[in-house]
Structure 1
Amino acid sequence: MARVLVVGAGATGAFFGARLAAAGNEVTFLVRPRRRDVLRSRGLRIIGPEHEEVLHPRLITADEVGGSHDAVLLSVKAAGLAAAMDDLAPAVGERTAVIPFLNGIAHLDALNRRFGPERVLGGVVKVVTVVDGNGDIRRLAPPASMVIGEQSGQDTERLRLLAGAFAPAAFDFATSGRIVDDMWHKWVFIAAVTAVTVLMRGSVGEIAAVPGGPEFAAAVVAEAAAVSAAAGHPLAGDALAELRAVVTQPGSPYVPSMYRDLSAGRPTEVEHVFGDLVARADALGIGVPLLELATLNLRVHQNRAQGTGV
C-alpha cells in the first residue's frame, strides 16, 4: 500500500486515483473548492458503458496539504502547473516521488527545477475519459494504462515499491527503463493526431476517406517523429508504422481531446504541446511546416477562446 496524493480530479486524475484507492492504497485528492463540493455531493462517479462506480474519497484543498506522501500524481492542464507545484509542495518529502501525467515534456524541466530530479519520475497514462456536465467521469473506451519510471532509467527500490502498490489496480501497469523516450513518443502521437484532425476539421476516418488524406496524415507523423529522433528519442520502426496506421485508419471515429476542446470553443494546450515542439524543431534545424500551421491555427483559436482576439 502507498500513501498517494492525486493533484487534480479531472478526467484522468480521478480515474487513476479511484482505481488506486480501490486497490487498497491511501489516496487523497487535492482539488479546488468548487470541485470538492461537487465530489462531496455526488461522490466520485466513474461511468462506463456497462456499469457505474461511486467512491467517496478523502478530499483536501490547498490550505490543507501537509505530511509527506509516497507518491504525488500530478494530473492538471499545463496552464495550471505553476499553481499546482505551489499547492503540492508541502506534501513532498525526501522520499516522495512526484509523477506527472501531463502532455509534452516541458513540465518535466519545471518539476526538476522545483523539486530536484531525484524526486521526479516520468509518467505516461492512456485513458479515454471526459468530465460530463454533472462533474462525473465518463469512460468512452476500454483501454487504460499507466507507465512510470525513473528519469535515470534505473530500477530503484522506490520504483519497485510503487510498482507493488500500483500493479494490483484495475488498469494496465508497467515500469519503464526508458520513460523519457516513452514521454516523447506519446508527445509525438498527440501532436500528430491533433494536427491532422485540427487542420482538416474531421475525425481520423473522415480524413482517411478523401483523396490525399492518408498521405497528408503520414506527412504530419513524419514531421513529429523527425523532431523526436533529432532530440535523441527516435521511434522504432514498428512504433512508427503503428502510429501511421492509427492516423490513417479508414472509418476511425477517433478525435483527440484537443480537437474536442477546439470544437467546444475551450482553450487548448497549444503552447505546451505544439509551441514547445515547434521551438525544439527550430533549435534542432528540423523543418516542420505542417506542425507550424497547426500551431498557428490553435493560437488563433486560443486568442478567441480567451477573449484576446481583435
Structure 2
Amino acid sequence: MKILVVGAGATGGYFGARLVQAGRDVTFLVRQGRAGVLRKRGLRIVEADGETVVEPNLVEVEGLTGTYDLILLSVKATALDAAIRDFAPAVRPGTLILPVLNGMGHIEALVERFGEGAVLGGAARVVTTLNDEGDIVRIGGPHLLTYGARSKPAPEGLAAVEEALTGVGFDAVLYDDIVEDMWAKWAFITSIGAVTCLMRGSIGEVAAVPGGVGFAEAVITEAAGIVAAAGHPIPEAALEFMRSTVTTPGSPLTSSLYRDLVAGQQVEVEALFGDLLVVAERVGVPAPLLGLTTGLLRVHQARVTGRE
C-alpha cells in the first residue's frame, strides 16, 4: 500500500515515522521549509528513553506525481484548504483519506471535494510537539490512532488499510463507531484546551490551586453535555478518564492549543471551539466556560493574523 502523509509535523510526523520504521511504503508531502529541516536532520523523534531517526521519502507540492492508496492527513484546521489543494492530484478512484484533524468540520470539506466514500473517520491521541530544531518530542502517554468507516457499507480498501496499520510502532484500532469516538475526542481536547488556556498553566498547576479541580470538572461537564445533547453521549468509562486526566495532581500535561497560544502562533479556535458553540446553541445547552475560552482565543487569533 502506497501511503502519503500530508503534514510531517508533531502528529503526522510521529505516526508517519513509525510507519516507515515498520517497513511501510510512505512518502511525506511537505512544504519547502519543513523539507529543508527533514533533509538536514532526518525525521527525528525524541523520547525520554532516547532518539529515533528515520530518513523520510519527501516530496514537495510541485514534485507530486502519481497517486496513492491511503492519504494520512494531519494538518492544522487553518491549513486544511491549502492541504486539500496540495494533495488532490494524488487522489484517484479508490484512494482512501484518513484525516486526524481536530473537531468535525474538516469532514464536510473533504467529502465535498473527494466524495463520501473516499473519506474515513479518524482520531489521534498522542502528546507531541516540535522543538526549536524541528524534531518531534513525544512527551509521553498514549500513541493511539483510531480509524474506521463513517457509514456502512465500509469502503473497499479498508481491509488493506487495517493491514498497513497493524503491527507498527503505535496503537491502531479499527472502530465500528468511529464517529462516536471523534465526538468524544472533540469534547476531550476542547476540555483540556479550555482548562490550560483559561488558567494559563499545566493540568497539575491548575489542580494545585483552590478551586482548580472543580473548575476542570465543570469544563468536562459542559463539553460532555453538549455532545450528549447532540446525540453522541460519551460512555461513562471514557468520561471518567477525561475527568481524571484534567484533574491529576502534578501532571505536566498541557494542550497543543495552549502551547500555540503562549508561543504567539495561530490557534484552531474555530475548528475546536467555534464549531462546538454552534452545536451548543443548536441543542440548547449553555456553554459559559467554553464561550469564554472562545472569546479569549479569538482575540489572540485576530492579533496574530493581523501581524502576518
TM-score, normalised to structure 2, is: 0.96
**Counterpart residue number, 2:6:** 7
- Classify the secondary structure of the residue corresponding to 1:229: helix
- Classify the secondary structure of the residue corresponding to 1:11: coil
- Classify the secondary structure of the residue corresponding to 1:307: helix
User: Do 2:117 and 2:155's aligned partners in 1 also have CA atoms closer than 8 Å?
Assistant: no
Shift of residue 7 of structure 1?
0.4
**Counterpart residue number, 2:100:** 101
Shift of residue 47 of structure 1?
1.7
**Counterpart residue number, 2:211:** 212
Q: In the alignment, residue 55 of structure 1 is paired with which amino acid?
A: V
Q: Distance in 1 between matches of 2:188 and 2:87?
A: 29
Shift of residue 270 of structure 1?
0.6
**Counterpart residue number, 2:109:** 110
Shift of residue 141 of structure 1?
1.1
**Counterpart residue number, 2:57:** 58
Moved more, 145-154 or 164-173: 145-154
Q: Distance in 2 between matches of 1:27 and 1:145?
A: 19
Correspondence 1:271 to 2:270:
yes
Q: Equivalent residues in 2 for 1:147-158 (5 A)?
A: 147-152=146-151, 154=153, 157-158=156-157
CA deviations on 1:71-122 (whole Å, 9 max, x unpaired) are 0011111111001001111111111110111111100111011101100001
CA deviations on 1:134-193 (whole Å, 9 max, x unpaired) are 111122215211111001155555222111111111111110011111111111001011
Q: Distance in 2 between matches of 1:80 and 1:188?
A: 22
User: Do 1:153 and 1:179's aligned partners in 2 also have CA atoms closer than 8 Å?
Assistant: no
User: Do 1:167 and 1:173's aligned partners in 2 also have CA atoms closer than 8 Å?
Assistant: yes
**Counterpart residue number, 1:242:** 241
Q: In the alignment, residue 211 of structure 2 is paired with which amino acid?
A: G
Write out the 4+ residue segments of structure 1 that deviate beyond 6 Å after TM superposition. Answer: none
**Counterpart residue number, 1:47:** 46
**Counterpart residue number, 1:226:** 225
Moved more, 154-163 or 291-300: 154-163
Shift of residue 210 of structure 1?
2.3
Q: Distance in 2 between matches of 1:120 and 1:94?
A: 12
- Classify the secondary structure of the residue corresponding to 1:306: helix
Q: Distance in 2 between matches of 1:89 and 1:177?
A: 27
**Counterpart residue number, 1:25:** 24
Q: Distance in 1 between matches of 2:220 and 2:171?
A: 26
Shift of residue 131 of structure 1?
1.2
Seen in structure 2, the aligned counterparts of structure 1 residues 127 and 19 have a Cα distance that, compared at 3 Å, is same
Q: Distance in 1 between matches of 2:146 and 2:303?
A: 36
Seen in structure 2, the aligned counterparts of structure 1 residues 198 and 122 have a Cα distance that, compared at 3 Å, is same
CA RMSD after TM alignment: 1.5
Q: Distance in 1 between matches of 2:187 and 2:160?
A: 30
Matched positions, count:
308
TM-score, normalised to structure 1, is: 0.95
Q: Equivalent residues in 2 for 1:156-305 (5 A)?
A: 157-305=156-304
Correspondence 1:139 to 2:142:
no
Q: In the alignment, residue 44 of structure 2 is paired with which amino acid?
A: R
Q: In the alignment, residue 169 of structure 1 is paired with which amino acid?
A: V
